Amino acid sequence: MLKQRLRRFIVVGRRLIVITGAIIGIIFGLPRLYTNLRYQGSIHWEQVAPTAPVAIVFGAGLLRDGSPTLILRDRVETAAQLYWTGKAKTILLSGDNRFVNYNEPKAMRDYALSLGLPESALVLDYAGRRTYDTCLRAKEIFGVSKALLVTQHYHLDRALLTCDTLGLDVQGVAADRSPYPRRPFVLWWLREIPATTQAFWDLYVSPPTDVVLGKKEKMVTMPSRDFGWQLVTEHVKDVGLRRHMLAVEAAMRWYARPLGQDEELWGCVGLIHDFDWEIHPDLDRHPIEGSKILRARGVDEEIIRTILSHYTEGTGIEREKPIDFALLACDEITGLIIATALVRPSKNIADVEVSSVKKKWKTPAFAAGVHRDQAEAATADFSRACFDGKLDLWTHAGHVLTAMQGVAAELDLDGRLATAQTDNGQP
CATH code for the domain in which residue 45 is found: 3.40.50.620
> Residues 371, 245: one domain?
yes
> Residues 382, 238: one domain?
yes
Query: Is 285 exposed, middle or buried, given 0-12, 13-18 or 19+ CB atoms closer than 10 A?
Result: middle
Domain assignment of residue 235, yes or no: yes
pLDDT in tens, 284-295: 899 999 999 988
Per-residue model confidence (pLDDT) at position 422: 55
Q: pTM value?
A: 0.59
Taking 80 as the threshold, does the pLDDT of residue 391 lie above it?
yes
Residue 330: name the closest of 420, 266, 275 by CA: 266
Domain end point (choices 172, 204, 236): 204
Per-residue model confidence (pLDDT) at position 332: 86
> Residues 316, 417: one domain?
yes
Residue 103's DSSP bridge partners are none
> Residues 162, 294: one domain?
no
- Segment 116-125 mean pLDDT: 85
> Residues 144, 271: one domain?
no
Domain assignment of residue 218, yes or no: no
pLDDT in tens, 229-249: 999 999 999 999 999 999 999
Per-residue model confidence (pLDDT) at position 9: 60
pLDDT confidence bin for 75, thresholds 50/70/90: very high
**Higher per-residue pLDDT: 210 or 419:** 210
Q: Which domain holds residue 136?
A: 41-204
Domain end point (choices 148, 169, 204): 204
Taking 90 as the threshold, does the pLDDT of residue 394 lie above it?
yes
Q: Which residues contact 276 (CB under 8 A, 6 or more apart)?
A: 235, 285, 286, 287, 289, 290, 293
pLDDT in tens, 159-191: 999 999 999 999 999 999 998 888 877 888 888
Distance from C-alpha of 58 to C-alpha of 96, rounded to nearest angstrom: 10
Per-residue model confidence (pLDDT) at position 416: 86
Distance from C-alpha of 360 to C-alpha of 397, rounded to nearest angstrom: 13
Taking 90 as the threshold, does the pLDDT of residue 215 lie above it?
no
> Residues 93, 137: one domain?
yes
pLDDT confidence bin for 225, thresholds 50/70/90: confident
**Higher per-residue pLDDT: 16 or 232:** 232
**Higher per-residue pLDDT: 98 or 223:** 98
Strands 146-151 and 169-174, by their bridges, are: parallel
Per-residue model confidence (pLDDT) at position 28: 59
Distance from C-alpha of 91 to C-alpha of 56, rounded to nearest angstrom: 6
Q: Which residues contact 110 (CB under 8 A, 6 or more apart)?
A: 224
Per-residue model confidence (pLDDT) at position 55: 96
- Segment 411-427 mean pLDDT: 72
Cα angle, residue 291 at apex, residues 309 and 137 outer, rounded to 5°: 65
Taking 80 as the threshold, does the pLDDT of residue 10 lie above it?
no
Domain assignment of residue 86, yes or no: yes
Residue 418: name the closest of 353, 347, 354 by CA: 347
Average model confidence (pLDDT) for the chain? 88
Per-residue model confidence (pLDDT) at position 385: 93
> Residues 265, 414: one domain?
yes
Residue 274: name the closest of 301, 300, 311, 302 by CA: 311
Distance from C-alpha of 404 to C-alpha of 349, rounded to nearest angstrom: 8
> Residues 115, 160: one domain?
yes
Taking 70 as the threshold, does the pLDDT of residue 34 lie above it?
yes
Distance from C-alpha of 32 to C-alpha of 192, rounded to nearest angstrom: 7
Distance from C-alpha of 76 to C-alpha of 124, rounded to nearest angstrom: 13
Per-residue model confidence (pLDDT) at position 345: 92
Domain assignment of residue 349, yes or no: yes
Q: Which residues contact 255 (CB under 8 A, 6 or more apart)?
A: 261, 266, 326, 330, 386, 399, 403
Domain assignment of residue 10, yes or no: no
Q: What percent of the chain has pLDDT over 70?
A: 90
- Segment 106-127 mean pLDDT: 89
Per-residue model confidence (pLDDT) at position 7: 66
Residue 222, SS3? coil
Q: Which CATH number do you get for residue 364?
A: 1.10.3210
> Residues 53, 194: one domain?
yes
Domain assignment of residue 240, yes or no: yes
> Residues 358, 387: one domain?
yes
> Looking at the 3D structure of the chain, how many domains does it have?
2
Q: Which residues contact 289 (CB under 8 A, 6 or more apart)?
A: 276, 279, 280
Domain assignment of residue 332, yes or no: yes
Q: Provide the sign of the torsion angle of the four alpha carbons 123, 176, 149, 205, taken in this order.
A: negative
> Residues 369, 399: one domain?
yes
> Residues 97, 58: one domain?
yes
Q: Which residues contact 211 (CB under 8 A, 6 or more apart)?
A: 127, 132, 133, 136, 137
**Higher per-residue pLDDT: 217 or 54:** 54
Distance from C-alpha of 13 to C-alpha of 15, rounded to nearest angstrom: 5
Residue 214 falls in which region: left (phi positive, over 0), alpha (psi -120 to 50) or beta:
left
Domain assignment of residue 33, yes or no: no
pLDDT confidence bin for 26, thresholds 50/70/90: low
Among 184-193, 268-277, 406-415, the least confident range: 184-193
